[in-house]
Structure 1
């Protein structure tokens, strides 16, 4: 269905003492959400301590200032305050959500977390144990092993090729000094992007910004390393004793700031991102029953992207599934989507757009993503118009540019047959 008439998200630009924030003001519910972040993330992990930034993000709310871990949690919980931090491969983000009366306390706790984390021995040990268990679970499953091998082969020697959360061995080697070093490189007054949503005026946000971020050290995080070209590696097999094989496939993507990024989104929705309506699902699941599900899309990282997909199938049918995948890859590259497929995809993308803005937290997160990707203030408002203006010839050209059957790289974890 088309987007509701008149749907818009007015965005204000708020500046105060060197800080800039985007604000979507809404007083219908007395809740305020903030999201902020920097470039960096796992790319700042010390040598041999992969996962240090991820572990740091968990420890920032495990005690700060004069509050140990339990006291910090109680202080937030008593006023229904949510505070969190997250590290990705190329970014480090923070967020808070609070009822309007609790906002001053939320700001105080978030500031303490960034400027005076405790790194208490008990908290470090507990978070390390949890991180090691998570890494083992994520990386030792067939899908995890396939993913680890895929990214390492696609981007050798680059942070994009390493697990953002580290491995069991690298997490065990992380030191408190290493995490403090990451904090010192990552969290600064400059290079900071901020977004806010909810029951707060521009004047109130202008007063809040220096309260929350004014005590951060001056300076800027190190520049992100440029994403190199995807290294094609053909087909690789990771032997795993399992009845099914996990398959990850992909190739070079396009930059996030490419003027035809949304054209690529339409193409990929038709091809592999539209659930049961996508070509890959119809061909490989519905018609052949080769997999429970198959999906592919653009995974953005380091200002670029990789086109990556995944599926799982019985070992005996891996060769058959991959042959059909390459046939569909070739067919879309040569002909692009039909007009009906495009109409359906664009209708879904425009009609579902308001679902991104159902609460203040998701709105703040969307505004932060817009800032990170250098989108203009009216990006959301004009998106349905831009999507409807995409012609089939333009989509076909993007399909030919994006999908390269001969460059498709595949990693299989299992005991595949028929290759």
Structure 2
């Protein structure tokens, strides 16, 4: 028997060919065509979102997005929703911290027949929402009331308080410090004209990114692009502000920032700067964080915090992206009396990984998980279109997903250790604690 192991070939990445197409009217888009299921999904978006809300009008983009399906053209809110329901169309819009996005999913008819094909109706209704939203007073007040209730509910527990304080203290005096959905106070005072202006800032051809997945041909997609977006204004899109320098005081020097909340447990949000989305070590950084904080019971933080000490039911962290910059974000909840110990363990494990990196076995297991879990992200056309849109907004190449398994397989322990030292910054790791912590 040979004393060497035969390594199985790496699983394939995203196997559908992604074609970059241009409509007859000149609109660029990505298409992953797949006729195995008679469904098509489109996703589109613009940079900006809540980062473009003027001071004092926080939540304008989020409310504007919610209102786009609350009546358009000659259809009021009820009629518009009935039209979507009758055709089995899922159409939605949302505004987040750094983007404004929309998309739909529609059934297609069997080849050779137009009966049951919901794509034309989906395009018609989405075009109305994009070009002729009504912003009726009744709909504005209903969505406003719902948003205010959501903003208040988000602050009812320690987790929401910690999350709000984390962003406010990490990026002070920046649009990214503000709650993307607004506060109860800003939403209550939000003028209807500000909501319309937030929609108008985004709904234009400039800066538009579009993707599609599912049962649609290149010719059909080209026509749909022009029908959907051809009538949008062609003026310049506003520029979203860059993410400012991370400013949360580090655990190593100033301790955690505390928000007092009357609760038996503390919620902790912790983090530090990450890597730019364009950084060639992006995937090595994901391996580092999988080993340290993202591997369920196999991660180092879970082992030290829960398994060995019983400090919490769970702890984890991963890479988030804001304005194409990476940010490491994590969370944990623990008893008020044990939060200081939890933070001590967190800080020690962060420093140990930064100094030593992962073992060869940890790298192998993390690479296997990240490679094997990739196909599970593409379970339907809507998720696929959404993921492709995020890749496009991050300036990835169309073949980036297909090449991911090979890039992961090429990572060595030495390379991941090098990235650990570069990525993890114990001196910059900061945390916000909401609750009544003892010992801080």
TM-score bracket for this pair, using the shorter chain length:
over 0.9
1:95 aligns with 2:103: yes
Aligned equivalents of 1:253 and 1:162: distance in 2? 20
| Equivalent residue in structure 2 for 1:241, among 256, 262, 274 | 262
Asked if structure 2 preserves the Cα contact closer than 8 Å seen for 1:3 and 1:354, the reply is no
1:165 aligns with 2:186: no
Q: CA RMSD in A?
A: 1.3
Asked if structure 1 preserves the Cα contact closer than 8 Å seen for 2:43 and 2:385, the reply is yes
1:390 aligns with 2:408: no
Q: Using the TM superposition, give the Cα deviation of residue 302 of structure 1 relative to its aligned residue in structure 2, in angstroms.
A: 0.9
- Deviation string 1:347-400 (CA, Å, 9 cap, x unpaired) is 011111111111111111111111111111211111111001111111111111
Q: Using the TM superposition, give the Cα deviation of residue 406 of structure 1 relative to its aligned residue in structure 2, in angstroms.
A: 2.1
Aligned counterpart, 1:109: 125
Secondary structure in structure 1 of the residue aligned to 2:155: helix
1:8 aligns with 2:29: no
- Deviation string 1:393-412 (CA, Å, 9 cap, x unpaired) is 11111111121212221111
- CA change 1:372–1:295 in 2 (3 A) is same
1:227 aligns with 2:243: yes
- CA change 1:134–1:80 in 2 (3 A) is same
The 5-angstrom pairing of residues 204-283 of structure 1 reads 204-233=220-249, 234=254, 235-283=256-304
TM-score of the pair, normalised by structure 1: 0.98
TM-score of the pair, normalised by structure 2: 0.93
Q: Using the TM superposition, give the Cα deviation of residue 305 of structure 1 relative to its aligned residue in structure 2, in angstroms.
A: 2.2
Aligned equivalents of 2:438 and 2:237: distance in 1? 47
Q: Using the TM superposition, give the Cα deviation of residue 35 of structure 1 relative to its aligned residue in structure 2, in angstroms.
A: 0.2
Secondary structure in structure 2 of the residue aligned to 1:140: coil
Secondary structure in structure 1 of the residue aligned to 2:237: coil
Aligned equivalents of 1:24 and 1:408: distance in 2? 40
- Deviation string 1:67-114 (CA, Å, 9 cap, x unpaired) is 001000000100100100011111000101101211111101001111
Aligned counterpart, 1:64: 72
Asked if structure 1 preserves the Cα contact closer than 8 Å seen for 2:204 and 2:235, the reply is yes
Secondary structure in structure 1 of the residue aligned to 2:80: helix
Extract structure 1 runs of 4+ deviating beyond 3 A.
1-7
Aligned counterpart, 1:40: 48
1:128 aligns with 2:168: no
The structure with more helix, counted as a fraction of residues:
1
- Deviation string 1:184-223 (CA, Å, 9 cap, x unpaired) is 2111111100000111110111111110001111123211
- Deviation string 1:52-72 (CA, Å, 9 cap, x unpaired) is 100111100000110001000
Aligned counterpart, 2:374: 353
| Equivalent residue in structure 2 for 1:140, among 150, 156, 168 | 156
Aligned equivalents of 2:129 and 2:13: distance in 1? 41
- CA change 1:327–1:6 in 2 (3 A) is closer
Asked if structure 1 preserves the Cα contact closer than 8 Å seen for 2:62 and 2:181, the reply is yes
**Runs of 5+ in structure 1 lacking a partner?**
none
| Equivalent residue in structure 1 for 2:314, among 293, 314, 322 | 293
User: Aligned residues, how many?
Assistant: 419
Aligned equivalents of 1:287 and 1:6: distance in 2? 36
Aligned equivalents of 2:384 and 2:213: distance in 1? 6
Secondary structure in structure 2 of the residue aligned to 1:417: coil
Aligned counterpart, 1:24: 32
